[in-house]
Amino acid sequence: MQAIRDPAAIRRKCTRFLAHHYPLSPKQHLQQVADAIPDDMEADTYGSGAVITAFEAEVAQLLGKEAAVFMPSGTMCQQIALRVWSERRGFSNIAMHPQNHLDKPEKHGYLRLHGLTPLLIGNLETQLSVADVEAISEPVAALFLELPQREIGGTLPTWGDLTAMTTWARDRGIPVHMDGARLWECGPYYAREYREIAALFDTVYVSFYKALGGIAGAALAGPADVIAAARVWQRRHGGNLIRLYPYVVAARLGLQQHLPRMGEYVERAKQIGAILAGIPGIEIAPEPPQTNMMHVFLQGDISRLQDAALDISEREYVAFWRQLQPTVRPRWQRFELSIGNAALDIGDNEIDRWFREIIEHGQA
Amino acid sequence: MQAIRDPAAIRRKCTRFLAHHYPLSPKQHLQQVADAIPDDMEADTYGSGAVITAFEAEVAQLLGKEAAVFMPSGTMCQQIALRVWSERRGFSNIAMHPQNHLDKPEKHGYLRLHGLTPLLIGNLETQLSVADVEAISEPVAALFLELPQREIGGTLPTWGDLTAMTTWARDRGIPVHMDGARLWECGPYYAREYREIAALFDTVYVSFYKALGGIAGAALAGPADVIAAARVWQRRHGGNLIRLYPYVVAARLGLQQHLPRMGEYVERAKQIGAILAGIPGIEIAPEPPQTNMMHVFLQGDISRLQDAALDISEREYVAFWRQLQPTVRPRWQRFELSIGNAALDIGDNEIDRWFREIIEHGQA
């Protein structure tokens, strides 16, 4: 065992990264955004102005929706979509998976700010099934589906199940909202245009940082009247900022740079998933990965696994994970892995060698 | 009368500006921000990281408060401060001026999101008095005071009145919140440190664009426990963005560049106010200006006044106002004027000549 080391300091020296894209420093990133801005581009003002409205139109078209609105965060997009549906329907229940992003991560904002109430359906650790949706027996304002379901490794329903679930709801007049924080990452699995996937939903939230590499920001797309109402709520939320252009321009760059490469990232995730799953003491979920992400389970003592990874990071300047978390299974730990452009430059044999070393030390 | 002209196109050609600072294009502004970022500065992450916490500490110190939190907007800061006070007090009423910024401009977000209720005190067109505050007869969660009161020309209570109003409330255990969207502009009037003004209040919201020239963003300062609670609500509001550094760095630049010059801007506003008030057919409020802002009333036909101003803008490349609005008095129109660095380069004689021409044409 070594003395206590500072993982952040070690990461700072790394030049290779298993997860995500190569990091850009704030200075590099903002310089890139400034460079991409035309000399004569005018600033947006409280949501108006060509820079923001043109991008909103681009997103709406990509998702096949009438309209879209850019907001600072997905937290805002989603609560607002649900509030608008709730006001139209006269109900407050939101039917959703127990590991939705609204409850713990967003601290029940939809309940505390909007008076909306959770109606949890399905099992904690598996994807929603058609039967889970059909079992809804109380009035609901909306059905809320996350594609992919991040907290269970980024799993997706089959196209057949997705169609059945959304059709069941819409046949009953229940609007279906997509938490598409990682929708961009789902294209390869469904092998369909984003607008085809979005067509199953009434409103869709998408994010621009994560796999697209923007700075921050999100959009909500849907029918024009719903988006018009959402803009009023955006103001109430404090999200109708006088200027959003730094985020908008960065989001647009991200769409241009990363969306065409999403297939590569997903393919690389599958390859890495296969390598990891082939090492005794490592499991992945889902297996194989369905998007560019997976959960990786490591067998061993959490401190020793962590130490082994830091040893390699110090020696070979490669970063593995930000957070290794304990699981309910004794001596099994977990981290979330999302593949971006950085892993494209790492060899299969290196990954195999590194993780065998990590497991060996973790189990010693 | 000329054919219909596009005021925005005419403004685009202007090189001189009566109001605000010289405009920076988004490209220039973001370039300036990128240049100001040190090579090794790390990005903030959901509100943590040195770039944001150091700035929050700087703002807290400037305002003499235990803590401060940076948020994307003032709308968010203020609703959240009021919600926190309301939860602690167990009351929902917010005592405030009828021309507060929360009702119409922010579409009653505090009511629709937080269930807080307005208790309007005082007169529509004048500054709150001590008697208005003393007449509060229902339980209130907080007393909400805007310094300066923008919609009535940026007027301020005297130091004596301000002290009396805040003391009355605090003696009764009522927290006092400052809408300090333009607090920076009040320093010269009170001739006191910002922390002395802020000391009369329990929580203070300040803005970083307006006179400070940032891109967007705001801060809420107050007791450490209140700010800790505010951070939870910031997440619920969707304002705890993964990255806020573009706004933070721009805000810091604004504080450095413009705060030391606030006295000049206020002085220039007083000079310009005197020139305008000396022209028959023009009135200003307040007279003299108390901050860098005032309302300017022009006597004449609104279209003819507008046309006269555009004539001068086209001829001399100077921009006057963005919006001329009708008032209740027949043939009297109004615009809001805030003085920044741009008016420091305009001569007194020019202002006199231009406005005499505008009034002459407007009354013809």
CB B110 within 8 A of CB B78: yes
Residue A262: its pLDDT value, please?
Answer: 97
Nearest to A236 among B37, B113, B241 (CB): B113
Query: Looking at chain B from residue 31 to 50, which residues have their Cβ under 8 Å from any Cβ of chain A?
Result: 31, 33-34, 37-43
Cα within 13 Å of Cα(A315), Cβ side: 8
User: Which residues in chain A have their CB less than 8 angstroms from residue B27's CB?
Assistant: 34, 37-39, 41
Stated pTM of the model:
0.97
Structure tokens at B265: 């801007």
Contact assignment for A26 to B37 by CB distance below 8 Å = yes
Contact assignment for A34 to B37 by CB distance below 8 Å = no
What residues contact residue B130 under an 8 Å CB cut-off, 6+ apart?
B161, B164, B165, B168
User: Which residues in chain B have their CB less than 8 angstroms from residue A13's CB?
Assistant: none
CA distance A72 to chain B (A): 7
How far is it, in rounded angstroms, from Cα B285 to Cα B277?
9
Helices (H), chain A: 7-12, 26-36, 50-62, 74-89, 109-112, 130-134, 159-171, 187-190, 194-198, 224-237, 245-258, 262-277, 302-316, 348-363
CA distance B350 to chain A (A): 28
User: Which residues in chain B have their CB less than 8 angstroms from residue A112's CB?
Assistant: 236
CATH of domain A7-24+261-363: 3.90.1150.10
Determine contact: B107 vs chain A, CB below 8 A.
Answer: yes
User: Which residues in chain B have their CB less than 8 angstroms from residue A25's CB?
Assistant: 39-43
Determine contact: A112 vs chain B, CB below 8 A.
Answer: yes
CA distance A31 to chain B (A): 6
How far is it, in rounded angstroms, from Cα A124 to Cα B304?
68
User: Which residues in chain A have their CB less than 8 angstroms from residue B212's CB?
Assistant: none
Contact assignment for B27 to A39 by CB distance below 8 Å = yes
User: Chain A residue with minimal CA distance to B240?
Assistant: A73
User: Which residues in chain B have their CB less than 8 angstroms from residue A246's CB?
Assistant: 30, 215, 246-247
Does domain B44-242 match CATH 3.90.1300.10? Answer: no
Instruction: State the architecture of B7-23+261-363 in CATH terms.
Output: Alpha-Beta Complex (3.90)
Model confidence at B3, pLDDT cuts 50, 70, 90, reads low
Nearest to B243 among A38, A114, A215 (CB): A215
How far is it, in rounded angstroms, from Cα A258 to Cα A182?
13
Contact assignment for A33 to B30 by CB distance below 8 Å = yes
What residues form DSSP beta bridges with B178? B145, B204
Choose, out of B51, B78, B87, B113, the residue to mutate when testing the contact with A (most A CBs < 10 Å): B113
How far is it, in rounded angstroms, from Cα B206 to Cα B181?
5
Nearest to A243 among B39, B215, B232 (CB): B215
pLDDT < 50 regions, chain A: none
The domain ranges of chain A are: 7-24+261-363, 44-242
Nearest to B216 among A39, A235, A241 (CB): A241
CB B245 within 8 A of CB B217: no
Query: Could you tell me how many CB contacts below 8 A there are between chain A and chain B?
Result: 150
Query: Looking at chain B from residue 258 to 317, which residues have their Cβ under 8 Å from any Cβ of chain A?
Result: none
What residues contact residue A164 under an 8 Å CB cut-off, 6+ apart?
A130, A133
Determine contact: A245 vs chain B, CB below 8 A.
Answer: yes
Nearest to B106 among A42, A108, A236 (CB): A236
CB A76 within 8 A of CB A218: yes
Query: Looking at chain B from residue 182 to 221, which residues have their Cβ under 8 Å from any Cβ of chain A?
Result: 209, 215-216
Residue B364: its pLDDT value, please?
Answer: 86
How far is it, in rounded angstroms, from Cα A197 to Cα A190?
8
Could you give the ipTM of this predicted complex? 0.96
Question: Hey, how many other C-beta atoms are within 10 angstroms of the C-beta on A162?
Answer: 23
CB B64 within 8 A of CB B198: yes
Determine contact: B235 vs chain A, CB below 8 A.
Answer: yes
DSSP structural state of residue B308: H
Structure tokens at B292: 């860098």
Contact assignment for A75 to B235 by CB distance below 8 Å = yes
Q: Is B213 left (phi over 0), alpha (psi -120 to 50) or beta?
A: left
Contact assignment for B37 to A27 by CB distance below 8 Å = yes
Mean pLDDT estimate for chain B = 97
Residue A3: its pLDDT value, please?
Answer: 62
Render pLDDT for B87-141 as a digit per residue (tens, 0 to 9).
999 999 999 999 999 999 999 999 999 999 999 999 999 999 999 999 999 999 9
